[in-house]
């Protein structure tokens, strides 16, 4: 494997900490729970996209790009981190965001504005429309003499996913140093790049770790298809003899509730529980739902108390402030 041959820019503070969650472990009655703190990647309030952007913007720079164009939801963490990274590298950022133009900028969108990104809001959630709009923007930029670099939804290309192959290796080194054998990784999944990278990383090292992706929105089959096709792309890029049949992948879509970006009561409970046991913040769109899934899997007896499970925190904190009303409703747990 030759991850080092790709051009790269330094954006993330790595390695991120791997920490014990003793109070949560005790409350849930085991398994031993660890947390991989990719909320602390350091770029503009952290998150998983800092790792992917190191590879993607490395390629952008090597191609002489002067404008980065990407897409996502109005509260996209990926868009916020792309906007910040672009500033750090002296590039212009254009964000094609799906939703309604809000009365007030909050959360990630507020940060996009602070980072000076040019935001174009379009009223469609269809992925093909978002990508077609990016292509239109790119054509317009090229006509003006610019060199645009397009990053698809979530930065989930084969190249972006390579970052999570490296992250899986990072985790294994840390776990080895702690003398811990990891049985499973649980994390939020959506555009699939994080899961594809973790899948390849754990397969290559023959670590026998289950990678469990908890969907933040899309149905299981959609995420499985996305992950399998990114794994194929990674295998081509790195000349690996590796495939991910959808049956090899574990994607759970039972914790989405009413839809992407709509927090469930279990998600809000999970956010409160982690805050009040470990002093760690989760977000209401991705990691809160993933933690709600992990808690449910433990309660249903899917893990043995003797096992070790790593909850991979993928970030998303700024979205907390865009959901202040749902999160501030009083409730005791």
Ligand X SMILES: Cc1ncc(COP(=O)(O)O)c(C=O)c1O
**Residue selected from 46, 193, 218, 318 as contacting ligand X according to rule CB under 6 A:** 193
What is the rounded distance in angstroms from the CA atom of residue 13 to the CA atom of residue 144?
Answer: 36
The residues, ordered by sequence, that sit 6+ positions from 119 with a Cβ below 8 Å of its Cβ are 95, 97, 109, 112, 113
Contact status: 286 vs ligand X (CB under 6 A): yes
| Site mask for ligand X (CB under 6 A), range 18-47, x = bound | -----------------------------x
Order of strands across the sheet that contains 250-252: 18-20, 32-37, 308-313, 184-189, 210-215, 250-252
What would the x/- binding string for ligand X be over residues 143 to 162, using CB under 6 A?
-----------x-x------
For ligand X, give the closer residue by CB, 58 or 261: 261
* 197, 320 contact by CB (below 8 A): no
Q: Are strands 148-151 and 118-122 parallel, antiparallel or unpaired?
A: unpaired
Among 12, 138, 188, 200, binds ligand X (CB under 6 A): 188
Which range of residues in 88-96, 120-128, 182-190, 250-258 is near ligand X by CB under 6 A? 182-190
Stretch that binds ligand X, among 23-31, 111-119, 255-263, 314-322 (CB under 6 A): 314-322
Residue of 225, 223, 224, 230 whose CA lies nearest to 201: 230
Candidates 29-37, 137-145, 251-259, 279-287; binding stretch for ligand X (CB under 6 A): 279-287
Buried b (16+ CB within 10 A) or exposed e, 153-190: bbbbbbbbbbbbbbbbbbbbebbeeeeeebbbbbbbbb
Our answer to whether residue 76 is catalytic in this structure is: yes
Identified binder of ligand X from the candidate list 70, 75, 133, 190, rule CB under 6 A: 190
Single out the catalytic residue among 76, 98, 190, 191.
Answer: 76
Residues noted as catalytic: 76
């Amino acid at each position: 494997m030759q991850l080092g041959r790709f051009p790269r820019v330094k954006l993330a503070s790595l390695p991120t900490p791997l920490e014990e969650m003793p109070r949560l472990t005790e409350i849930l009655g085991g398994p031993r729970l660890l947390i991989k703190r990719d909320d602390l990647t350091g770029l503009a309030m952290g998150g998983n996209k800092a790792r992917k952007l190191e590879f993607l913007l490395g390629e952008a720079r090597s191609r002489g790009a002067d404008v980065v164009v990407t897409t996502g939801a109005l509260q996209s963490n990926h868009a916020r981190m792309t906007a910040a990274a672009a500033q750090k590298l002296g590039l212009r950022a254009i964000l094609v965001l799906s939703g309604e133009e809000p009365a007030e900028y909050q959360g990630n969108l507020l940060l996009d504005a602070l980072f000076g990104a040019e935001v174009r809001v379009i009223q469609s959630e269809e992925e093909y429309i978002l990508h077609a709009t990016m292509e239109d923007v790119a054509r317009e930029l090229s006509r003006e003499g610019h060199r645009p670099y397009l990053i698809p939804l979530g930065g989930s290309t084969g190249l972006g996913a390579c970052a999570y192959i490296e992250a899986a290796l990072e985790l294994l080194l840390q776990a080895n140093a702690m003398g811990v054998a990891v049985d499973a990784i649980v994390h939020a999944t959506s555009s699939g790049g994080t899961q594809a990278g973790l899948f390849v990383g754990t397969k290559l090292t023959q670590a026998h770790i289950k990678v469990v992706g908890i969907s933040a929105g899309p149905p299981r089959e959609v995420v499985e298809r996305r992950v399998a096709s990114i794994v194929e792309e990674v295998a081509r890029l790195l000349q690996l003899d590796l495939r991910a049949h959808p049956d090899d992948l574990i994607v759970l879509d039972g914790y989405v509730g009413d839809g992407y970006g709509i927090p469930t009561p279990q998600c809000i409970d999970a956010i409160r529980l982690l805050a009040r046991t470990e002093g760690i913040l989760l977000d209401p769109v991705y990691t809160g739902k993933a933690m709600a899934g992990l808690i449910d899997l433990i309660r249903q007896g899917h893990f043995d108390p003797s096992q070790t499970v790593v909850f991979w925190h993928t970030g998303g904190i700024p979205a907390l402030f865009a959901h202040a009303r749902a999160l501030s409703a009083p409730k005791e747990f």
